A and B are shown apart, each in its own frame.
Chain A
């Protein structure tokens, strides 16, 4: 007699089971998790740094807190992930973080090729140069032949190359990975010039022992509109991020602050303030949030001007004037669309 044998039909058993990335709405994911995941800079005075208690602080950090407050009602429900210039886009694209708030310049290729959605401009910046006063340089046009420290993976290296080519000058690049290493190389005289966004230069200079020995040259060689960004393809999530930022700017125009926001919600006669703070209308609900999402955000971190002054303003070590970043009512560029 013949014994039955097991048929060797393996192909079917291994029909490729595919597991794909989470494609459900980011909002649902965040709510379910109860935490917002936010990528910030690895350490840049004023923008994102950890204070003596190990708590993340800064301009970019507070934006994440505002979003967390708007979405989850808790400004501390944020997991911060430090990202370098190189890792940030991969972190966002792979879904490791929900939002990237790391002084990132809004450019065509990042918007289109890398498939990200920029949520607005939180800081209007431009690339500048910092040199030691002892060099006796007063203009970037005198930098022919200098060694320049640049952070890799940023628009700065492309701007730098363009600028020196356009001016017909040469330079020796020293590419470094993080702002901290850049500072070390610059201070050790391994390079003559440190270049990055002017705000970053001011922030770095604030941490130097002898800040007065360094000058930031007058030339600003690029437009650097910095802002938070999210992945393409989730318009609801992008809208939430965009309107939290806008709400912070509108609040400044309307004089709403962290201190008076409850009072304004209860007593203001201004219809736009009422809509913004969720007293009238169903604006919040239409993007999947509570109607008082803006109120929560402002209560947690304050309006745009408050956040700016707290981390970057003239009272801080970073010592940046509002300049282009003043509200349009004060002659600056910060201008939010109407909340209606």
Chain B
């Protein structure tokens, strides 16, 4: 009987698993699955066994014990008496803060550098090439340390900064951080916030209407100015109507540091700078690739229609380039987030610094802390990637 012949009575034979093309792929997949699972099981059981041999149990109870250490820069209320999970939360928010800041500024920087590298001006395009090639090829950790060193050595100490303020009484740049006026909120501030949110919604509606009007009549409104007015005027009216519920808290001289105001620490700034400049160079290359992939006929056609060069870029070339730019951009955002874990080098307390650093050390729970840390980064990365993929889906060329 030939192997390829299906038995007449359609009964299943064991050898078909291997010889019949219909079943063979399943067989191979099941074998692969069993192999992978066995290896994973072996690693886990090995870890469990070794932990037992070391006399260590596996539990997350330590997270509710008091942390006992202080953190320099934090977005939520935290003190040394707070629990370890709170310290981890402070770290997580710090990670998200620097990642968000760096993603935004790296994108802006990258788009500019990418476009300028294609400039017809020889000096500008060469300058951008030097920036991109120089920055892309130096390890990020060194850049973070270099920026930090620049900030702590070049910027004045708090005492000197008081004598040479950026804006007298309000903004100071010191080697420990930048001080700007903070906000003191009192009753009624929610009305102002509400007004601001309503304004933002209003701007969206207005822009939609303006676009429609432009399509119908061809007239272009000064969008930027009107949007700005929409944003500021209602909020300002509400602010005075409710009785000025938001006051400014100015930094003042203290015994050692400046007191009050809002402090943005040098570690955060150095990290943000380094991440933005480093990733900006990668994004610039992605943008350049995206633009160059758009056929020259597109911009020539736009010019023929009478569009000025900046409008050609923003209305014709970039929207098409975006489709090419977005997928590699996702992985750059993921890289920024993951690279932010280098923060510990300059003493910025991110998630790696708190949960994976001090908490791990003080409690000695390496396995638990590391697993939790990896899981958190995984969730952050998958979320970013999910959101960006959805955006990509919405702008990509639809097959019609």
Q: Do A and B come from one complex?
A: yes
A interface, CB within 8 angstroms of B: 1-3, 5-6, 8, 10-11, 14, 16-21, 23, 85-86, 89-90, 93, 109-110, 113-115, 135, 142-147, 152-154, 157-158, 160-162, 165, 171-177, 184-185, 188-192, 231-233
Which secondary structure characterizes the binding site on chain A? loop
The residue on B at minimum CB distance from A165 is: B80
Q: Which 6 A-B pairs have the closest CB atoms?
A: A14-B38, A153-B361, A161-B80, A146-B256, A114-B364, A189-B157
Across the interface, do B358 and A175 meet the contact criterion of CB distance under 8 Å?
yes
Kindly supply a per-residue 1/0 record for chain B positions 344-379, scoring 1 wherever the CB is within 8 Å of any chain A CB and 0 otherwise. Answer: 110101000100011011111010000000000000
Q: 20 pairs across A/B with beta carbons < 8 Å?
A: A2-B13, A5-B14, A10-B31, A14-B35, A14-B42, A16-B42, A86-B361, A113-B363, A113-B364, A114-B364, A135-B256, A145-B257, A146-B257, A153-B361, A153-B362, A157-B68, A173-B71, A174-B72, A188-B153, A189-B175
**Chain B interface residue count: which class?**
35 or more
**Across-interface contacts of A171 in B (CB, < 8 A):** 70
For the complex formed, measure the closest distance between the CB of A237 and the CB atoms of chain B, giving whole angstroms. Answer: 15
Across the interface, do A192 and B175 meet the contact criterion of CB distance under 8 Å?
no
Task: Pick out which of these stretches binds chain A: B48-56, B281-289, B391-399.
Answer: B48-56
Across the interface, do A20 and B357 meet the contact criterion of CB distance under 8 Å?
no
With beta carbons under 8 angstroms apart, the residue of A23, A113, A145, A173 that contacts B256 is A145
**Across-interface contacts of A147 in B (CB, < 8 A):** 176, 256-257
With beta carbons under 8 angstroms apart, the residue of B17, B71, B357 that contacts A8 is B17
**Across-interface contacts of B363 in A (CB, < 8 A):** 113
Kindly supply a per-residue 1/0 record for chain B positions 37-75, scoring 1 wherever the CB is within 8 Å of any chain A CB and 0 otherwise. Answer: 010011001100110011110000000000011111000
With beta carbons under 8 angstroms apart, the residue of A5, A8, A157, A185 that contacts B70 is A157
Which secondary structure characterizes the binding site on chain B? helix
Across the interface, do A157 and B358 meet the contact criterion of CB distance under 8 Å?
yes
Given contacts A143-B256, A147-B176, A189-B157, 14 further A-B contacts (CB under 8 A): A1-B1, A8-B17, A16-B45, A17-B42, A18-B42, A21-B54, A89-B364, A145-B256, A157-B69, A173-B72, A175-B353, A184-B149, A188-B175, A190-B175
State in angstroms the CA–CA spacing of A2 and B13 once bound together.
10
State in angstroms the CA–CA spacing of A93 and B366 once bound together.
11
Q: Tell yes or no: B259 within 8 A of A by CB.
A: yes
Q: Tell yes or no: B254 within 8 A of A by CB.
A: yes
Interface-central residue, A3, A14, A154, by most chain B CB under 10 Å: A14
**Across-interface contacts of A161 in B (CB, < 8 A):** 68-70, 80
Q: Tell yes or no: B27 within 8 A of A by CB.
A: yes
**Across-interface contacts of A144 in B (CB, < 8 A):** 255
**Across-interface contacts of B353 in A (CB, < 8 A):** 152, 175
The residue on A at minimum CB distance from B353 is: A175
The residue on A at minimum CB distance from B258 is: A145
